[in-house]
Structure 1
Amino acid sequence: MTRSIIVISAAALLVSCSKASESRLTGYVEAETLYMAPQEGGAIENILVNEGDRVEAGAVLFRMRADKVLYQAEQAEAAAKAAEKRSEDSGSLAKAVAEAEANLSRVSADFGRTQKLYRDGYVAKARFDSDRAALTAAEAQLERARAEKEAAQEDYQSVEAQAGFVKQRLDDLTVSAPQAGSIERIYRRAGEVAAAGDPVVALLPPNNLKLKFYAPERILSSFAPGKELSFRCDGCDGGLKARVTYVAAEPQFTPPVIYSLDERDKLVFLVEARPLAPEGLRPGLPVDISIP
């Protein structure tokens, strides 16, 4: 009699567990981590955060040594100032243009008088040819002076752009958080050399967490993109919601990490959802998705 009661109880428990598994799906939390890296290689001067810290957007995470770039910035700034001085209205090239214009005006007036006297027969052709050559030379001198001034202005713009580029490089040596989040990992330490694009700090914004689970075809319509779903996890507050953002177009077998005796041979579709309140969730945390 006692044995019969035990068998009946075990059967009832299996039925209960089966019904519970049919009302929810198992999934987990996945993170889309931001790997913060320098834009150019060099030695790390200091790291201003620790693993586990929560930082606001714009907070400085780490700085690269700026000795070489700072020297280049000083050189570029000095070159820009020199080019600006040469190209400004009171500079030497502007004075050369003014002198060439005055000389052309004087030579043009002399040639006008000589031309009139030559037509009237009062001066020789040699004088006429000499004054005409002087006019041509004065015009060429003014053209050269103006060309040199324009070239100096273009050179100043180029050098100024180069100085701005070097200054931007100097600013890029300080790496800040693009979004608020938590510091998940620190891969390098002060004094180490990091290559361009080599991650130094891993930052996880709360909105970069998502739920991943697998749904069989028969209930796939319940998880259409844009729909809200309910989920729960161990130690989490109740009433958690998420919005479906992605449903795979092709089916696959349930991944081994969430194999179960009921589902291991079934084809399922990957579904991703963004938690509406991601605070308190951690990457890898198992979650139970309620089936609507």
Structure 2
Amino acid sequence: MAAVIRKRPAPDGLFSTAAAAGGRKKRPRYQFGSIYNYEKLEVLGEGTYGVVVKGRDRRNGETVAIKWIRPDANGVTDITAVLREAGCLEACCGHPSIVQMKEVAADEVTGHVFIVMEFVGPSLESRLTTRPFSEAETRAMMRQLLRGAEKLHGAGTIHRDIKPDNILVGAGGALKICDLGMAVPTRPAGEPYPEQIVAALWYRAPELLGGDWRYGAAVDMWALGCVMAELLIGEPLFGGAETEDDMNTRMLELCGIDTPELQASLRELSEAGREVLCGLLSFEAEKRLTAAEALGHRWFDEEDAPLTSSALCSQPNPRGFISFF
């Protein structure tokens, strides 16, 4: 792993074992695994906040994904942010629709910190290049994503960055929500969140665009509605928007899903499917379907299409493996 990081002395106290008063050794401030238990295989993606590599566990040969948390300009890693992301992943431990964390590891030489996760496969975005998915295929995928969202929200977590590039495609068409770098514990109703910009622009809920920082889990449900529409029409619902003003204009034009352009793309969608889509894309957050409400809708009483033979699994991936950014 040393090849992907810049050598820098470990921050004071991160792995400190200096003698305390009375000659006793201090315990390390944080108990992390060693990144040298892993071998780097290839870089999967790089972004503003870090790098993701494919790796192999030297102890058992298991293939993993390793997210390096990029230090700030002063070379300091935001440990609080790392532990927040790890905590959100830990809260969803064992759920089949959320990527699973193995451990938090660190480089005792540089002080760099890594989140080690299961290796799943390519992103859903990389599979949205061939054709729209059928209603039955879309229902099978949305069932998994909504179950993942239900677990996240039930664990008191808001993802805040759901989009096709943050959804992994595994064996047999299994989908897993990943990259909880923007995820936060849910705050009490009415209490604002400090971050000024969250969620990718095309998947940003109306309340976020309106500058309301007293939002809730409904921002994830809007994003899932955008994902559902994208699966059905074969392109991003708000693709082409470059600014928040563009998004506001497009939303006003949309006013639900009853525009002629969308009507043509969704002409084969059943009435029940339209109800779910409209419920997820409600402009009013308090009227938007929750994950549990969506899963309880009659649309999910119908049979899903198998995904193993669909374009989700059968097409080559032109972009390689997942980018977490």
Q: TM-score, normalised by structure 2?
A: 0.24
Name the structure where strand makes up a greater proportion of residues: 1
Name the structure where helix makes up a greater proportion of residues: 1
